[in-house]
């Protein structure tokens, strides 16, 4: 017991020590600022104070940026005006007001370009690249960001060079190009590991690697990186990102179905967010906690957290989050079997989502409301919402696929141009080498023709080998692109076929319902037909067979490998293994197979036994090796 008490005291003292050091440094900077009369020195001191406060006390950082702007405008000091605008842009970036951020960053860039302020110009462009990325223009963000690399090298600013590498990796990650993203993250860490300044930048990269693993379903690995990032954020008193990464940790634990650890991480994130008034993150965490309590079956507690999240989002004018939380409140009331209240919140969520054109939240609302109508016996309305859901889902799917194909084509064209430039450079190098050979020939001629021929032959062989190597590398890269595009086309074909089958089913269901409506005396007969139709659709293996065909092509005959290794494995077990191989969660698999999550957990346990895996071997990790 004593050792535990001392550990807690040690942690508290460490926290107080860090805060005391920060306050002491801020006080000394303030004293120096008040004593100074030189505008250049005063702006530099305020800039240092801004950097210290930005992630700890954003509101205070904003006031400092305004002060930089004020004193610089009075003295007509261009460098300070550029820095003040850049500071305000940064403040709006981290407080999620991108339009304001873009306004101030553009202003800063214009002043910096006019006055040749290299660092401030580069940093302002970097901020604008981040905004492009947040809006989904990843290739635009990458081009803008990559244009900064030679500028940072020229300035000798290797900290920002490493940050820029990490930002480009983040954009590739968002595009789903995980290999390029990981290469970029590793390159960024290689630079940042050599720099003592701003260690939280390393933590940002570690958090990004954690998120990459999270979205690929490698939850244990993601937790490892999130914890490394958290340690640095704690060491540097970076309160904002502590709250973010604790929320990330909570998400990973919940996906692993460790709800208690998930709640613990969420509550830590909430305490920090509330203390420093990070409203967006506070609301997000409260909503996440509400969903966990709903999973646990404590619906009243879930509603309490969800209503608190809704209140903050309404105050903060965060429309997307208001739509999302309204939908989740509606779903919770539906699980309480309070359908009228559920419909009230779902109607509000859908109306708002439609007005602000946020497709994915509208999709969720329609899905939840269709289930609420179905639960309430309002089958016509349920069918109407299901049709709207299907039409919107199809539209969003096509838009997303078009965007992915467009990004892929842009990426392919960029790589082709780079390959052409590399080839031209190689030809230039070849000509230069040839010129060297010509000069060498004159020197060697007196020494004998044999030496000349030997040297020329070796050089020519070297040139040919280098050209051949470049050609092979380029052909390999082009083949990868062709395979990626072919894979996307297969996905699209599979989804289209699935949609046709579902639409046929919905049409049959609609006709049966119309028969009941026009001839009530046929109710019993038609009702039995509807029940049989639903059973047939649930029991149908058509979708599975189509899915299995494409899955086998993409994952190298996964089902055949399983059958070869385990001849007694059943078709249902292969289906479960395929879904696990795709990193679907237990909840998602249960919804797909129309069974309870507990049933999936038992099936996973039985599958692990069937595959003869020991207790320490992770089932999903094993399936990923096949």
pLDDT exceeds cutoff 80 at 234? yes
CA distance 123 to 101: 13
pLDDT tens column, 6-57: 222 333 333 434 455 567 788 888 889 889 889 999 999 998 899 888 877 8
The tally of domains found in the chain comes to 1
Task: Examine residue 5 and state whether it is found in any structural domain, yes or no.
Answer: yes
What are 137-150's pLDDT values in tens digits? Answer: 888 889 888 888 88
**Is 90 among the domain residues?**
no
Within 10 Å of residue 473's Cβ, how many Cβ atoms? 12
Give residue 521's pLDDT.
57
Q: Give CA–CA dist 210/185, Å, rounded.
A: 11
Stretch 508-524: mean pLDDT, rounded?
Answer: 63
* 134 vs 49, more confident: 49
Which of 138-147, 423-432, 494-503, 526-535 is most confident? 138-147
Residue 329 CB burial class (10 angstroms; 0-12, 13-18, ≥19): buried
Asked if 242 contacts 233 with a C-beta cutoff of 8 angstroms, the reply is yes
What does each C-alpha distance from 111 to 38, 114, 120, 132, 537 come to in angstroms? 21, 5, 9, 21, 64
Distance CA 580, CA 566 (A): 17
Over residues 470-492, mean pLDDT: 62
Rounded-to-integer distance, Cα 533 and Cα 391, Å: 22
CA distances from 403 to 109, 175, 176, 221, 400 (A): 30, 10, 12, 30, 5
Residue 230: pLDDT over 90: yes
CB atoms inside a 10 Å sphere around CB 401: 15
Nearest-angstrom CA–CA distance, 225 and 230 = 9
Where does the pLDDT of residue 426 fall: very low under 50, low under 70, confident under 90, or very high at 90 and above?
low
Average pLDDT of 589-599? 74
Q: Give the three-class secondary structure for 238.
A: coil
pLDDT above 90: percentage of residues in the chain: 28
Which tokens belong to 256? 């692993």
**Nearest C-alpha neighbor of 111 from the set 100, 124, 101:** 124
Cα–Cα nearest to 169, from 183, 150, 152, 189: 183
The answer to whether residue 553 is domain-embedded is no
Lowest mean pLDDT among 159-168, 228-237, 248-257, 416-425: 416-425
Residue 326 lies in a domain: no
Tens digit of pLDDT for each residue in 158-190? 888 999 999 899 888 877 788 888 899 989 988
Neighbouring residues of 410: CB distance < 8 A, sequence distance ≥ 6: 139
| pLDDT band, very low/low/confident/very high, at 5 (cuts 50, 70, 90) | very low
Confidence label for 453 from pLDDT (cuts 50, 70 and 90): very low
With 80 as the cut, is the pLDDT of residue 217 above it? yes
Quote the CA–CA distance of 592 and 134 in Å, as a whole number. 31
User: Does residue 18 sit within a domain?
Assistant: yes
Query: Could you report the per-residue pLDDT of 563-579, keeping only the tens digit for each?
Result: 888 888 888 888 888 88
Convert the pLDDT of each residue in 61-99 to its tens digit. 999 999 999 999 999 999 999 999 999 998 988 887 888
For range 490-506, the mean pLDDT: 52
| pTM for this entry | 0.50
Residue 4 lies in a domain: yes
Cβ–Cβ under 8 Å, residues 66 and 46: no
Range of the domain at 13: 1-29
Residue 13 lies in a domain: yes
pLDDT tens, 293-345?
Answer: 999 999 999 999 999 999 998 887 677 889 899 999 999 999 999 999 999 99
Place of tokens 């407080």: 95
Task: Give the pLDDT confidence score for residue 467 in this predicted structure.
Answer: 57
User: Residue 591 falls within a domain, yes or no?
Assistant: no
191, HSE (Cβ side, Cα atoms, 13 Å):
22
Q: CB neighbours (10 Å) of residue 38? A: 9
């Amino acid at each position: 017991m004593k050792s535990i008490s001392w550990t807690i005291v040690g942690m508290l003292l460490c926290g107080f020590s860090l805060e005391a050091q920060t306050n002491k440094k801020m006080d000394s900077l303030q004293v120096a600022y008040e004593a100074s009369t030189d505008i250049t020195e005063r702006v530099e001191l305020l800039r240092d104070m801004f950097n210290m406060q930005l992630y700890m006390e954003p509101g205070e950082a904003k006031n400092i940026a305004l002060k930089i702007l004020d004193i610089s405008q009075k003295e007509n000091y261009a460098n300070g005006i550029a820095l003040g605008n850049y500071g305000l842009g940064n403040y709006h970036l981290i407080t999620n007001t991108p339009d304001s951020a873009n306004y101030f960053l553009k202003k800063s860039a214009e002043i910096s370009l006019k006055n040749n302020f290299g660092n401030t110009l580069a940093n302002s462009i970097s901020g604008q690249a981040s905004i492009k990325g947040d809006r989904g223009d990843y290739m635009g963000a990458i081009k803008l960001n990559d244009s900064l690399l030679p500028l940072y090298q020229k300035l000798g600013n290797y900290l920002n060079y490493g940050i820029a590498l990490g930002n480009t990796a983040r954009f590739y990650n968002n595009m789903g190009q995980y290999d390029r993203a990981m290469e970029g993250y590793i390159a960024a860490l290689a630079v940042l590991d050599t720099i003592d300044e701003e260690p939280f930048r390393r933590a940002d990269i570690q958090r990004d690697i954690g998120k990459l693993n999270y979205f690929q379903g490698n939850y244990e690995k993601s937790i490892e990186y999130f914890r490394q990032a958290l340690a640095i954020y704690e060491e540097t008193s970076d309160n904002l990102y502590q709250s973010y990464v604790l929320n990330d940790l909570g998400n990973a634990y919940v996906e692993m179905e460790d709800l208690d650890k998930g709640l613990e991480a969420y509550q830590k994130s909430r305490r920090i967010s509330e203390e420093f008034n990070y409203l967006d993150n506070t609301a997000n965490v409260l909503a996440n906690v509400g969903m966990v309590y709903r999973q646990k079956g404590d619906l009243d507690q879930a509603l309490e957290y969800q209503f608190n999240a809704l209140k903050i989002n309404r105050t903060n004018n965060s429309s997307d989050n208001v739509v999302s939380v309204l939908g989740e409140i509606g779903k919770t009331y539906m699980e309480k079997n309070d359908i009228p209240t559920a419909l009230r919140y779902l109607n509000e969520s859908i109306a708002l989502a439609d007005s602000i054109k946020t497709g994915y939240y509208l999709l969720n609302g329609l899905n939840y409301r269709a289930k609420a109508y179905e639960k309430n016996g309002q089958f016509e309305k349920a069918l109407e919402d299901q049709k709207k859901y299907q039409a919107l889902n199809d539209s969003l799917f096509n838009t997303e696929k078009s965007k992915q194909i467009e990004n892929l084509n842009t990426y392919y064209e960029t790589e082709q141009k780079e390959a052409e430039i590399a080839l031209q450079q190689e030809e230039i190098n070849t000509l230069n080498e040839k010129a060297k050979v010509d000069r060498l020939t004159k020197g060697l001629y007196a020494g004998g023709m044999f030496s000349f021929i030997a040297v020329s032959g070796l050089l020519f062989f070297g040139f040919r080998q280098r050209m051949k190597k470049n050609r092979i590398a380029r052909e390999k890269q082009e083949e990868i692109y062709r395979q990626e595009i072919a894979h996307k086309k297969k996905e699209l074909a599979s989804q289209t076929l699935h949609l046709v089958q579902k639409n046929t089913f919905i049409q049959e269901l609609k006709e049966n319902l119309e028969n009941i409506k026009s001839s009530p005396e046929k109710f019993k007969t038609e009702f039995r037909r509807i029940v049989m139709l639903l059973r047939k659709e649930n029991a149908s293996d058509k979708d599975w067979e189509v899915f299995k065909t494409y899955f086998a092509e993409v994952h190298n005959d996964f089902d055949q490998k399983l059958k070869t290794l385990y001849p007694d494995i059943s078709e249902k077990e292969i289906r479960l293994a395929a879904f696990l191989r795709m990193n679907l969660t237990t909840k998602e698999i249960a919804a797909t197979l129309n069974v309870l999550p507990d049933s999936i957990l038992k099936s996973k346990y039985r599958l692990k036994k069937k595959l003869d895996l020991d207790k320490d071997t992770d089932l999903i990790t094993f399936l990923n090796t096949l």
